[in-house]
Structure 1
């Protein structure tokens, strides 16, 4: 079962939103220019404005992490669980980060919460309102056109679970039994869309309730996310009494794991809330954070070292090793807390990079390289098609490498390594075509529609100091 997925591209929204709020005229866009390959290619390669271009590099590396992990997953499908686990146990330590690629999903959730909260909080702070209809319209139209094309192709192919594809287009596919889901890796889109549906309403509720502060509400939700994870783990005996391997590989246990603990908003919204809190800090306290970092040398350094240590720890935690994966209170604590702790560490690292704090300026420079602009904008297209590409690429490659009579670990590393590289290259090529012919034209339509129609009426919100 596929189990990873990135956030959708919000940078286009933020760039247009910034132009609108600065009262600058949007670039002239006519109906004839919607499908212009030259214009759309230029939009893909142009520099993103503002600080948020740094996210493109973070997203692309997160996408690579997910693609490699899914290549491992496809390898296990073609070779069976016994061969897979035998190969896994023989793999060197420096590759253990591959087995923890589920953290890439949390990374994308943090980024999503961060970007969406900045957009909504700035709108609220400037206008005292949130334009709900416009927000929901833009979010649905941002994700759905390319998704719908792929869904139609999937349905027409008669692939397994094609009769359930309607749930994907309504972004409720994660409510289905995991065995019934079509395009199983797209559960993350459902989680994000459900969160986007609720977050503006939560912000309106906070604004209309003077006794509630933003931080109190968000920290309360973060604690609630941990309690829900513990409650689900405790309620289902097959999860409480299982090791991590069985949660991923045993047919019965894995269905409970994915359906109740992994694929739904209730147990995964913690990293999104962490991103929202980071967005709030960036909107209203970035100068205070920068001044604090300049005034004290050692505290921000210690915090950056700690955050990177936590990130590396969870990247290399040997969760799939039999010595560490037995059912125990330690494993239960890990399952409850690991996503939130990792997300907090990543959120601070991300904030440090955006604010260009002195101790992480190398990362600020690295993620500002122009190469990440087009690659980062392609992550949504790549995400939607990458697993289908991997299935096509790895099948013949696996058959060939099996004829070489290699050690199981060598065979897996060769198949996964070559398969991931070839799949990434092919996914980028297909992703560019998707961007030029589907994704960007519909973004152009959305922009043209809004220019001609005008902004819808906002929902008023009380100002809070």
Structure 2
């Protein structure tokens, strides 16, 4: 009955008998309204009066041309959005024809001024229609001389008579002919990248010449050889025996975690794209399948944090056992050269050139939110503390993880040196720190009444800033990884025997974690939050990351001790080794590729389908992997070599 009533209300509205003026005639009425403002609009700003006068005059010419059935005016109007079909099915997007509008041109008969098309998207509040829909997105094509602010003012004057209003800032959604010159930053970047590219090319040629003459090039040349570094990326080693110090299964875990992150981010983008069948997208998002593929992807970051704690612990403890001291310079230099060059190069490239890649409905909005902050916050990102300051100005928001990981890496000697000296006695302190981190999340949820369900009230809107980005709320899995790394280090030379009953219990608990996490995930994110107590959300958010880390620890433990079976065979497959080596650069650049190709260049609504989502995932994985090869060869592997050179000279 509710759907029938909604349909009847929509029918009445569209036939002019409902709550607002007829939507079907909206476009023509808006054109005539704009054309009639030439003599009546009040110019409040003398600085823009000249341009506004030109705009209103050209709007008048456009309206007159359309009334006289002139082809050029019809072409302009043809590119406008009309009333979208399927409003009740979630299609609130009628963006018109973006390219048709941007190519539209006309020189009117009484002057030499050319009228060029400017495409603007207006998000119109449709609450007056009393329908279960959000704002309606209309695309309009107006003369390029018109300021977006004036477009918004005129649109609001028009919609005010219909008890509607424009919700967005047209400045972020208008596209006209604008000369795009290379900025000083872009020119400097071109010079720097060209010089560095010449170094890589020269080193590669020298390496190949030496190889052709059956000689070996100097090591300083080989470090920058693209040919040699590509071979390193795709070089694989056969599966090693258990307890040899090589954990082959970690390659598979790293590679799959990176793919999982991409799956998660593709779903994030899918839910934010203009879609003609929004109802189907919502149904998928609320299904078990949709929730698991989307929300479980967030656990991949916690897997990386756990692995980071495990690996840094094993590395530092080996050094302490060998040298009885820790080389702090080498420790931190290794991390800086591992992380910073590729990250800094990405910031420089993206900020300098993204604006020249094209235009689309969401181009300016996404650029303003995700890339523009890097112009002022790049140093916070490269100093790795942006997860604690000015969250709205975070340079590439997905790199919050790098800040967390670097901060924990810097602090690791404060934990690992006492652990090495005191052994199990200090492990209690680490456990207490992990529990304190988890309790911070729990307390923050309870005090601020945060809920994970999107339908619930958002409270102060600071949930990610208080519980997702900060290091002190994410460090529990890293600390558990430290304890696990300590355990693996202490048992590295011992053969650990597990009875079949112990294995059965372990794998049963692992399966229970997967089932419990998946079920509770579906409930807290899509269930009726009014029937789910607040404490359930608080417990879930504070516990699920650590339980997932325990699951991965069990898998690693069984694999390296010879009890992994088919799981170990799969994770130790040599296919994963190149992807594992590319995981860092893929993590860095996949978001920019996705934002540019999938979102920023979008010019029309998309049709949602599950197959389409996974096609996008496959495409993004392929493109990101290819780009990551280039980025690793250029900005990651050469600096590994420089690190070893520096350490040798110091020694």
Q: Give the TM-score normalised by the residue count of structure 2.
A: 0.58
Q: Does 1:388 align with 2:564?
A: no
Q: Does 1:309 align with 2:485?
A: no
* Cα distance change of structure 1 residues 313 and 412 upon mapping to structure 2, 3 Å threshold: farther
Q: Which has the higher contact order (CA 8 A, sep 6+)?
A: 1
* Cα distance change of structure 1 residues 44 and 216 upon mapping to structure 2, 3 Å threshold: same
Q: How large is the RMSD of aligned CA atoms in angstroms?
A: 2.9
**Hey, what's the Cα distance between the residues in 1 that align with 2:504 and 2:297?**
27
Q: Which residue of 2 aligns with 1:364?
A: 568
**Hey, what's the Cα distance between the residues in 2 that align with 1:441 and 1:169?**
19
**Hey, what's the Cα distance between the residues in 2 that align with 1:333 and 1:122?**
37
| Structure 2 unaligned regions, length at least 5 | 1-215, 356-370
Deviation at residue 85 of structure 1 after TM alignment: 9.3
Q: Which residue of 2 aligns with 1:40?
A: 229
Aligned positions of 1:255-334 closer than 5 A: 256-286=462-492, 290-293=495-498, 296-315=499-518, 317-318=521-522, 319-323=524-528, 326-334=532-540
Partner secondary structure for residue 250 of structure 2:
helix
Count of aligned pairs between the two proteins: 409
**Hey, what's the Cα distance between the residues in 2 that align with 1:207 and 1:117?**
10
Contact 1:78/1:395, CA 8 A, preserved across alignment: yes
**Hey, what's the Cα distance between the residues in 1 that align with 2:217 and 2:426?**
39
Contact 1:164/1:180, CA 8 A, preserved across alignment: yes
Deviation at residue 301 of structure 1 after TM alignment: 1.9
Contact 1:114/1:275, CA 8 A, preserved across alignment: yes
* Cα distance change of structure 1 residues 312 and 63 upon mapping to structure 2, 3 Å threshold: farther
Q: Which residue of 2 aligns with 1:423?
A: 620
Contact 1:307/1:345, CA 8 A, preserved across alignment: yes
Q: Which residue of 2 aligns with 1:111?
A: 307
Q: Give the TM-score normalised by the residue count of structure 1.
A: 0.80
Q: Which residue of 2 aligns with 1:65?
A: 260
Q: Does 1:136 align with 2:332?
A: yes
**Hey, what's the Cα distance between the residues in 2 that align with 1:89 and 1:418?**
16
Q: Does 1:228 align with 2:440?
A: yes
* Cα distance change of structure 1 residues 420 and 90 upon mapping to structure 2, 3 Å threshold: closer
Per-residue Cα deviation, 1:157-216 (whole angstroms, up to 9, x for no partner)? 5732121111110001101232111100000000000000111122234456x5982322
**Hey, what's the Cα distance between the residues in 1 that align with 2:278 and 2:533?**
23
Q: Computing the radius of gyration over CA atoms, which structure comes out larger, 1 or 2?
A: 2
Partner secondary structure for residue 174 of structure 1:
coil
Q: Name whichever structure is richer in helix by fraction.
A: 1
Q: Does 1:198 align with 2:411?
A: yes
Contact 1:222/1:273, CA 8 A, preserved across alignment: yes
Deviation at residue 323 of structure 1 after TM alignment: 3.1
| Structure 1 unaligned regions, length at least 5 | 1-26, 405-410, 455-465
**Hey, what's the Cα distance between the residues in 2 that align with 1:93 and 1:223?**
30
**Hey, what's the Cα distance between the residues in 2 that align with 1:374 and 1:181?**
30
Per-residue Cα deviation, 1:399-450 (whole angstroms, up to 9, x for no partner)? 6773x5xxxxxx1424421211111100010001111122111112212222
**Hey, what's the Cα distance between the residues in 2 that align with 1:101 and 1:86?**
18
Deviation at residue 86 of structure 1 after TM alignment: 5.3
